[in-house]
Each structure stands twice: as C-alpha cells, then as structure tokens.
Amino acid sequence: MTTLLRRLGSGQEEPETAGMYLFLAAVLHAFGVVNPPLVELPGWLWLPVLLLGLGAVLLRRRWLLPAVLAMASAGLGLLALGSVAGYFMAFEAVFSVFLLGGTRLRRMSFAVMCLVSLVAAVLAWETTQAEQQVVLSLFLTGFILFTPMLWAQNVRTAQELAASQAGRSAALAAAAEERADRLTAEHHAARVSERTALAREMHDVLSARLSSIALLSGAALAAAPGSEPLATIRRESVTGLEEMADMVRMLHAGTPALAARLTDVPQLVADAPEEVQLDYSVAHPERIPAAVHTAAHRTVRELLVNHAKHAPGSTLRLSLEQRTGSVQIMASNPVPAQPGNGFGTGVGLASIRTRALAVGGSCDIQSTPEFQVKVTLPTAPRPEEEAHEDPAR
C-alpha cells in the first residue's frame, strides 16, 4: 500500500494515474457530484471523453505536446458536460508539461496560465461586478493551474537531485577504482625495485663464493683425479652458479619463478651420492602445471640432500607418481643410530612443506619408526598459472 501511494504521489506512473482518475470520476458520478452542464448533450458522454483524456495520459512520454493538447481538450469537454473529472484532466495537462517538458515549453505554458487566470478574473468582474467573485476566480484558477505546476517542479527537482547523487556516487566509485589502480601500480613498482635490489645483492654476495668453490674444487680434482666427492662438489657449484644466473635474470625481468621439469628427476636421482631406489611413474608430464613441476623437482632435490646429510650409508626409497588430479611424492629411509653431521641451513623440511602449501598441496612428515615424507601436489591449473606455458611440453 505504501509503495502504491508513493507511485501515485510521484505522478510518473501513467497506468496507476489513469486508473486513479477513472476510479475517482466513477465514484463522483455515482454519488451525483457534478456541475451544471454548459451544453445540452447526453449525460453519458462524459465517459468516452474521459477515456480519451486518459489515453493521452498513457501516451504523454512518447508524444508530449499532442498528449497535453488532448488532455486539455478532454478537460474542457468534461467541464462543458458538467463532469468534475474535467478538473483532473486540466490538472494532469499542466503537471505533464512541467514534469516532462523542456524549458521553452514550460515558459510558454506558464505565460498561457497567467493569461488564462487574468482573463478569468476579468470575465468574473464583467459578469458580477463583485470583488469577491474576482478573488474566487483567481483562487480557483490558481489552484487548478499552479498547484500541479509546483508539484511537478518538486518531483522534477527530486529526480535531478537523485541523478546528481547517482553521478556523484559513480564519480566516487571511479575515483576509488583509480586510486586502487594507482596503489597497485605503486606496489608493482616497489616489487620490481625490490626484486632488482635482491638480484644485485645475490649476484654480488653469492657469485664470488660459488665461483671460488668451483675453481678450488676444479684445481683439487685435477690434483686428485677420480675423487667422487670433489667431482660432486664441482658439479654442484657449477650448477648452483648457472641456477643463480638464471634467477638473477628472472628477478631483473620480473618473470615467473624458475621452472624445473619432473622428467629431470631420474637424472637427478642418478647423480645422488647415496643409494636411492626410485619408483618413477609420470605418464603425462604435459598435463602438469609449471608450478607443480618446479615444486616437485625442488622437493625431490631437497629430499636427496636431506638423506645425504642425515642418513648417509642407508638406502632412500623414493616414489614419484602421477595420479588423477595430483602428483604424489613419497620418501622413506631407516633412522640411523648415528645421524650424519652434514651441515646446512636446517630449513630443508620446512621448505618442502612451504613449497607444497604454496601450490595448494600438503606435506606429512614422520620420524618413527622410520623417517617418512609424503607430499601431495594438486595438478589442477591455478588461475595465475594458466597463462604460462608448461615447461614439460
């Protein structure tokens, strides 16, 4: 009910307005609320004349000026027939002009309304010579003509305010989006600067040390040919130099992290210093995302290093299997009575767990009755990786 009253009060819903006028006119005629007719015509003619005016109300947004003229004509016809519904049509004609019309049409209509009020006042004076009738004439014409004008102007002002508020809200939203884009750009620039600084520091600090290790191990290997530990040290240092160079280039270019292939795992295991039993089952490496390739390769490498440091002399059982929707890595070895004393950073297992979680996987580590690691990496492509080419292709 409240919504209906609000729609009727706005005067902008033509079907509701026409229905309301038809209902009120029918009620007034049913109770005999009519004026003396100015012409002698059948009393039932008020209904088709009213319907003509209501049809103009329905069409006023498409053809405003013809519709207003039709409403005004219907109003005059109804008043001539003695129907008070003529006031409704006069009211609606003025309301439509000032609600929907342009500036020029509204000014012309205002001038005509003032002229009509003045003519009505003069006629009242010429007919009655009574000041009271002149005042009454001005009051009636003002009420009938100027009240809908003020009402329409209020509705129009409310519409303009609403449109202005909507425009302001849109402008604020655009400004907020622009600010978010600017902050994103600034964040990206900061990341690029940080990556560049990191690449510079990595190159300056680590390259000299790795180069020294490679040179010294090469010299030692030349003096003692056939030494497998020295060969491994030289091979690892040279590989580390190559990977660091790739990482420095990656940091400078802002490209994704270094990619490694699961297909390289058998060779990685073959180069391991300790005995490893490998069960390798990767039938379709091209279906595995690049990030999972890299995570699995780095995980296997970390497991091999961890085994060589902490359980030298034992056999590492390593399984790498491609399943539906995931890659599973399992490693186990007996817990030695005297663990190895290999040095390192001590964050190898934590790195394995972090790397698995980074791609949406899981990591389970047990130390009794034997050391076991189970890593599951999902192979469903993640949105940020779909745009990058699979390194295994």
- pLDDT single digits (tens) 114-136: 998 899 889 988 888 888 888 88
| CA end-to-end span of the chain | 67
- Tell me which residue range forms the domain holding 291: 259-393
On whether both 161 and 275 belong to a single domain, the answer is no
Q: Is the residue at 195 inside a domain?
A: no
On whether both 307 and 166 belong to a single domain, the answer is no
Q: Is the residue at 213 inside a domain?
A: no
Q: Is the residue at 230 inside a domain?
A: no
Structure tokens at 258: 């270094």
pLDDT at 390: 45
Q: Is the residue at 266 inside a domain?
A: yes
On whether both 18 and 165 belong to a single domain, the answer is yes
Last residue of a domain, one of 119, 137, 172: 172
Q: Is the residue at 101 inside a domain?
A: yes
Q: Is the residue at 220 inside a domain?
A: no
Q: Is the residue at 140 inside a domain?
A: yes
pLDDT at 279: 95
CATH number assigned to the domain comprising residue 330: 3.30.565.10
pTM as predicted: 0.44
Which residues contact residue 365 at a Cβ distance below 8 angstroms, ignoring those fewer than 6 apart?
Answer: 349, 352, 353, 372, 373, 374
**312: Cα separation from own chain's centroid:** 55
How does DSSP assign 93-133, residue by residue?
A: HHHHHHHH--HHHHHHHHHHHHHHHHHHHHHHHHHH--HHH
Last residue of a domain, one of 145, 172, 199: 172
pLDDT at 322: 93
Last residue of a domain, one of 172, 187, 203: 172
Cα–Cα distance measured from residue 87 to residue 83, given in angstroms and rounded to the nearest whole number: 8
Q: Is the residue at 184 inside a domain?
A: no
Segments of the chain with pLDDT less than 50: 4-5, 342-345, 384-393
Cα–Cα distance measured from residue 196 to residue 251, given in angstroms and rounded to the nearest whole number: 6
